[in-house]
Amino acid sequence: MCYECEGADCDKASMNSVLCLINSGQGCWTDMVETADGVKTHSRKCSNTTCDTPDVEKCVPNGDDTKCSRCCNSNNCNKDDLNSAPGFLRGGFWVKVNIAIASLITYSVSVLL
């Protein structure tokens, strides 16, 4: 099951949101467009489009706007909000851990030198 909504009332999925059923091969999607003046429009849905990279958020410039999308495959997984940084690519917890480890290694090496 996925959350399904669109527009101003869809910025954060809630327990009152409509749910749609996903079949095998389908995914839950969260999309967000942020205009140049900071106005955000969200949509959440079930889709026949499969997830090539589940749980990874992708943001790309779309004219003066930025469009972010994320797909996922588990129940109610499309409830979270999206970041809106152009070129942003986030895979959740593991990216943050990898960045922290890389920073720690860089710091450790610089201290040793």
Domain chopping of the chain, boundaries: 2-112
Strand ranges across the sheet with 40-47:
18-20, 2-7, 40-47, 27-34, 65-72, 57-62, 89-90
In 3-state terms, what secondary structure has residue 113?
coil
Please, which residues bridge with residue 70 across strands?
Answer: 30
Please tell me the pTM assigned to this model: 0.67
pLDDT score for 98: 41
Say how far apart CA 33 and CA 41 lie, in whole Å.
Answer: 5
Say how far apart CA 78 and CA 63 lie, in whole Å.
Answer: 25
Retrieve residue 112's tokens.
Answer: 């040793």
Torsion of CA 41, 15, 50, 68, to 10 degrees: 20
Q: Give 78-103 pLDDT, tens digit per residue.
A: 888 786 665 656 554 434 444 444 45
Q: Which CATH number fits domain 2-112: 2.10.60.10, 3.30.450.40, 1.10.10.10, 3.40.50.2300?
A: 2.10.60.10
Q: Which residues of the chain have pLDDT under 70?
A: 8, 13-16, 83-113
pLDDT score for 71: 92
